[in-house]
Structure 1
Amino acid sequence: MSAAPRETTFATVRCGDTHWQIRSDLQQELLDAHGLRRREWEQQQRVEVIKTGAHREVIRLDTAAGRFYIKHYKVAGIKPFLQNVIRPAKAVLEQRMAARVRALGIPTFETVAWAETRSGGFVWDNYLVTREIPGTQPLDGFLRTQFAAMPTADASLFRRRLAVELGRFTGKLHDAGIVHRDFHAGNILIRDQPAAPVQLWLIDLHCAHIQKSLGLEAAQQNLAMLHQFFATRSTRADRYRFFRAYCAQRGLSGSVNSMARDVQACCSRRAQRHWRRKDRKWRQGTRHLVKLRVGSQRGRGLTVLGRDVVRDICAQPEHIFAAATAWYKQSTKRRVAAVAVPTIPQYPRLFWKSLKLRGILPLLSQWLGRSSVRRAWENGHALLRRDIATPKPLLFVESAQGFDVRQYLLTESIPDSATLFDWHHDHLVRLPQRQRREIVRRLTVALAGQLRWLHTCGFEHRDLKSKNILVSQNDNDDRTWLLDLEAIRRWPRVPRDRMLQNLTRLNVSSTFLSEIQLSDRLRFLRNYLGSRYFLEWKSTWQKIEARTGRKIDKNRTNGRPLS
């Protein structure tokens, strides 16, 4: 007869003002008389910082007892302080919720320790230590890396398995009454092993709560959050499989197609409202960005860069060009260079863009907060929020002396990428014919989907051309990124005339790409129009062709080169 498993025991330990609840068998491994053994771990290079910011830090620790994640919730303002007054600290909330979620049979992490720092009768910083779930990674990262590198046949089989398993997992959550207020792909862990079913875990549970029953109406907000990431990464068939598995798990009756359409429409509306609210907060300023004014310069940068780094760049923006490793544009008005900034080691290669303008209109637009770099900054983060790929804007600076206006923008560099124009002429044309055609077909479908989602989200790109589109130089990677974001314009709903202008501009640009054939243009239009294709393809095709001819004739008459 086998022995019963020994129950896990927790010890209460006080280290100064910090009160710990920790597994007895890990106390010596994690704590000393002063608290966490972080200085010792750093000296032994056993710590990796995963996330850092003013309000939270997450580190990964390797020990003889395994790998652990340590969350440090900081009280960096009046809001988190008051939250700790009126309710338990985040670490305690997450520990309690993890225990309840595990009791309901939902896979989640194991908590091994938590702590609160108490002083003056108040709770300040608090900590949560969890054990790593072996072989897992966040679902969003998995889909961006490993899934993107899968062969087409394997990727097709995997997306079917994932749609079904994710539908069951979400249905199980909602059936148990679990509502996660930050339910996105980054808060779901995945383990995918050969010859084994896909396994999923729920994490970041301080944003979760449990209610007695959860109807479809109440579940739609959770589904809307999940929809944001998968909107451009899923097909109608994927969504059908997801909802069929979701309904089967919850025992919901009725037409799956009808339910999927209703939920998707509701999800889209909620997602759009959520994104617009996030956009407004971003314009006003959030804890994720730093706002500074240094003399006549003012700017904003991401918090992860560090306040001192943002201040130094704002004070002397021209000095960044001294670190240029390559120049891409040098004129009296515009300069673009690849730079390596030693104070930003997390980004080995960056792009630094400068605009030099003169006149009352640039000065007025800058004063009103509508300068070119400010628009590019806000548009870039708005697109990323909607999962539209573009290089992340990291920092911008505005300067004005009299009527002379200078503006600067710092963005990340996408590794192993090139503009569509350069990639076509320098790489694609050198490949074998069959490989060229396969790559063009895949890229056409990917670009059409991205442009359709751009317009669905209420954005248009007024200068959509091959030199403003980045593509990966990896032949198995179909991702594309949009550039020149000051040309992005927002609409409550993009007018059809503006959609046609964008498609025409791209079509004019594609005339310089010899590998783009009529069949590729038709394939692009089919994937762009989606379910409207059979009703609208001919009229859309004819209008684009007519506009393309007029655009070419106009440029020739005015002596302007096409690009």
Structure 2
Amino acid sequence: MDSLKHGPYLKSGGPARTIDGRTRPPSVAANALDGSASTPRESTTSHDQIGLATERTMLPQSLSTRPEIDGGIPTPFVEFAAGRYVWRVARSHAQVLKSAEIDWFNLAGHPDAALVKRNSQRDVWRLASCGGRYFAKIYHPVGALARLKLLLRGPIAAQEWEVGLYGAAHSVSTVVPVAMAWEDGRRITGRSLLITEEVSDSLPLNDFWLTVRQNRVEADMLADALARLIARAHQCGFQHGDMHPGNILVRRSASRCEVFFVDLHRVKTGRCVMPRHAVANLAQLNQWFRRNAGRSQRLRFLQAYIRYRDQFAQASSLARNWRIDIGKLVADLAVQAERHANRLWAKRDRRAMRDNRYFAKLSPARGWRGHALLETKHPAGGAKTNLCFSKSDWRQWLRDPPSWVDPARQKLLKDSHTATIFRARLEADGRGIDVVVKRTLARNGWKKFVQMFGPSRNIRSWRLANMLRNRDLPVATPLAVIERFAAGVVRTDSISFTEFISDAVDLETFLTREVAALPGTMQRSVKNRLIESVVQLLRAFHERGFVHRDMKAPNLMVRWPAPHVGTPVLTFIDMDGISHRRRSSEAQRTRAVVRLCASLLGSPGCTASDRLRFLKTYLTAPGRPPTEWKAYWRRIHTEVCSKLHDKELRRSWKLAHYGRE
């Protein structure tokens, strides 16, 4: 929106203040100011991307009426200075915002202001004032990179303002702010402000989709509206850099859905959206929908997207009418979706070791430091991770760390030469959660040396458990890990806290106790569904690059209450044997199957035919010969026998060296 930054004049008739100190030629967005915008549309509303309130959009017809201002160039907004800030306000809101005695950059003390969202770069407030409800987004650059971007691009609020008008000029439904302000003369450290008006009756795309996905007519109507929006945006040179469902809002009308973009500061405009960029953009959206929509639903969306691309081939000078093959698009989308998922997962993995909204670094007692969970962004089903903790909670709980591994105070679950495990309960303000507390032990001199100076087993388990959660794999939620250091360098103790999985038993116990007690007519049905669930979990586990060298039945928890209707909930515990690779090899996958089969040889609830059914189900996949299981069966039998022999030797060695298994 260069025309907004450099083209208009002030009410006094002089040239407008520039935001970044440079003069550039007006862009296509100027059409929105002189009345030459695309076909007018009805006013739309949008919901804030975090799902708490909504914002009103400014559409082309609201920008096309431009009264003359003292003989200068007419504008749809007014600009004025207030203290050290320069304001630009939509003309329809100018009087209201100027008359309100509100310090928009300091809303913490305002009685009608509520903090909606806060991160390192932005605070979002909701405010009721002068008969209206508004959002105030205060951008504050933190870090050298953010300040460099501010120096090169100007205030972030101005970027979002410009993108909104660009969308309005090209009939791309977006949220357009009604006011903005920036600190004049502070290009590197200055704050900027964006104000939008709140409107009701809209939901984020992810929430709206969950309400309609079972209704074929409504789901198809939403997919069609979404495909139309994205296709037109791409053909008009509008590419959203963070196109997840939370940044696309939906409003239901009588016979159609209205869909539009929000959170516009990462949008690229004015450039042709090349095929690879369009596919990468769709892959961002597909990241959530591949878990929450069927293949046929996603295919219908892609078909509608291609159809609307052809329809909007003349929408702007940036439109391109490339021939798109649906089969190749699906294949390319799968590749791009995997790349996007890996980037997203890597970003989330780094959170666990930092101070942020979801995790905290702690020093609860002298010589102790570690990490703790504050909030889970995507709670796992059935877990008690809907509880939010604070740093003060953890400081209170961990002020005496050794007390959590004291057999006189806690319930001992396991005592071995490698770890002691207890069950305990965290209590605070009338709420609590049952936890498993684990202290790792070194079994020889080399292990002690590694534990003192290298990465500890508990820290490694903390990282891996969070990696599994980030990839939608079921795992007992890691809550905290703390370690004691001598002189700040030498690790002398390590304790971890993990969610206790209630109402669950390990796989071996479930087969031996639960399944064996069922009538013969029910056993086959329950076993078949259990086999299918275990196979699906193992496939997802290996596809996401994980390898488990200790995939035994006691390390897989099953929650499936009688009468065993539906599907079981499976959860991984004990991260010691898990590692993450780019790709798991065939030998590594086979070893996991061998280990699981060997651990169930002594279970009366698991017969040879059950293990064969499991193997055949696991090997069933496109491109695999139907008789492949025979070679695997013989190979697994040989390796299971070898595994049992090694296990007996290991047992004898432990008895000789430690006096216990």
**TM-score between both structures, scaled by the size of structure 1:** 0.73
CA spacing shift, 1:390–1:225, aligned 2, 3 Å: farther
Among candidates 262, 274, 292, match of residue 203 of structure 1: 262
CA spacing shift, 1:184–1:468, aligned 2, 3 Å: farther
Partners of 1:161 and 1:198 within 8 A in 2: yes
- In the alignment, residue 272 of structure 2 is paired with which amino acid? S
1:530 match:
621
Is 1:351 aligned with 2:435? yes
1:124 match:
191
Displacement after TM superposition at 1:489 (Å) = 0.7
1:265 match:
335
- In the alignment, residue 278 of structure 1 is paired with which amino acid? K
Deviations 1:199-253 (A, max 9, x none): 6443322121124322212323323434444455566555544443333332453
- In the alignment, residue 303 of structure 2 is paired with which amino acid? R
- Structure 2 residue ranges without an equivalent (≥5): 1-41, 44-60, 64-75, 311-321, 376-388, 653-661
Among candidates 280, 296, 316, match of residue 367 of structure 2: 296
Partner Cα distance (1:116, 1:310) in 2:
39
Higher relative strand content: 1
Deviations 1:113-143 (A, max 9, x none): 444456867522645545355241352x677
Partners of 1:384 and 1:390 within 8 A in 2: yes
SS of the residue aligned with 1:111?
A: coil
Is 1:489 aligned with 2:549? no
- In the alignment, residue 218 of structure 1 is paired with which amino acid? H
- In the alignment, residue 256 of structure 1 is paired with which amino acid? I
CA spacing shift, 1:51–1:366, aligned 2, 3 Å: farther
Partners of 1:94 and 1:206 within 8 A in 2: yes
CA spacing shift, 1:523–1:308, aligned 2, 3 Å: same
2:243 match:
183
Partners of 2:452 and 2:491 within 8 A in 1: no
1:137 match:
204
Partner Cα distance (2:234, 2:84) in 1:
39
Partners of 2:529 and 2:567 within 8 A in 1: no
Displacement after TM superposition at 1:499 (Å) = 0.6
Among candidates 267, 271, 288, match of residue 212 of structure 1: 271
Displacement after TM superposition at 1:494 (Å) = 0.8
2:536 match:
449
2:281 match:
222
Among candidates 102, 116, 119, match of residue 33 of structure 1: 102
Deviations 1:413-432 (A, max 9, x none): 78x87356477789889999
Deviations 1:414-468 (A, max 9, x none): 8x87356477789889999999987776665555334323212221133334554
Deviations 1:160-205 (A, max 9, x none): 7777665555444433332222233443345689x96666443322
SS of the residue aligned with 1:530?
A: coil
- In the alignment, residue 353 of structure 1 is paired with which amino acid? V
1:373 match:
458
1:503 match:
593
Partner Cα distance (2:116, 2:522) in 1:
39
SS of the residue aligned with 2:271?
A: coil
Deviations 1:470-491 (A, max 9, x none): 5666966766443323332122
Any residues of structure 2 matched to 1:408-447 within 5 Å, and which? 408-411=495-498, 418-419=504-505, 421=507, 445=532, 447=534
SS of the residue aligned with 1:354?
A: strand
CA spacing shift, 1:245–1:78, aligned 2, 3 Å: same
Partners of 1:275 and 1:386 within 8 A in 2: no
Displacement after TM superposition at 1:256 (Å) = 1.9
Among candidates 238, 244, 260, match of residue 303 of structure 2: 244
SS of the residue aligned with 2:547?
A: strand
Partners of 1:101 and 1:108 within 8 A in 2: yes
- In the alignment, residue 539 of structure 2 is paired with which amino acid? R
CA spacing shift, 1:223–1:372, aligned 2, 3 Å: farther
2:468 match:
383
Displacement after TM superposition at 1:397 (Å) = 1.7
Among candidates 397, 420, 425, match of residue 339 of structure 1: 425
SS of the residue aligned with 1:531?
A: coil
Partner Cα distance (2:506, 2:79) in 1:
60
Partners of 1:118 and 1:124 within 8 A in 2: no
- In the alignment, residue 80 of structure 1 is paired with which amino acid? A
Displacement after TM superposition at 1:502 (Å) = 1.9
Partners of 2:436 and 2:499 within 8 A in 1: no
Displacement after TM superposition at 1:260 (Å) = 1.8
CA spacing shift, 1:326–1:64, aligned 2, 3 Å: farther
Larger Rg: 2
1:99 match:
165
SS of the residue aligned with 2:171?
A: coil
Which stretch of the first structure deviates more once superposed, 211-220 or 332-341? 332-341
Which stretch of the first structure deviates more once superposed, 303-312 or 237-246? 303-312
Partners of 1:320 and 1:341 within 8 A in 2: no
Partner Cα distance (2:83, 2:546) in 1:
54
- In the alignment, residue 34 of structure 1 is paired with which amino acid? D
Partners of 1:53 and 1:303 within 8 A in 2: no
Which stretch of the first structure deviates more once superposed, 210-219 or 100-109? 100-109
Displacement after TM superposition at 1:390 (Å) = 3.4
Among candidates 406, 413, 428, match of residue 329 of structure 1: 413
CA spacing shift, 1:523–1:169, aligned 2, 3 Å: farther
SS of the residue aligned with 1:448?
A: helix
- In the alignment, residue 331 of structure 1 is paired with which amino acid? D
Any residues of structure 2 matched to 1:472-487 within 5 Å, and which? 480-487=570-577
- In the alignment, residue 455 of structure 2 is paired with which amino acid? R
Displacement after TM superposition at 1:309 (Å) = 6.1
Partner Cα distance (1:555, 1:188) in 2:
55
CA spacing shift, 1:451–1:98, aligned 2, 3 Å: farther
CA spacing shift, 1:300–1:157, aligned 2, 3 Å: farther
Partners of 2:202 and 2:249 within 8 A in 1: no
Higher relative helix content: 1
Partner Cα distance (1:115, 1:429) in 2:
70
Partners of 2:252 and 2:258 within 8 A in 1: yes
Aligned length: 541
Partner Cα distance (1:361, 1:94) in 2:
57
Partner Cα distance (1:437, 1:27) in 2:
71
SS of the residue aligned with 2:160?
A: helix
RMSD: 5.2
2:67 match:
none
**TM-score between both structures, scaled by the size of structure 2:** 0.64
Percent of aligned pairs with the same amino acid: 21
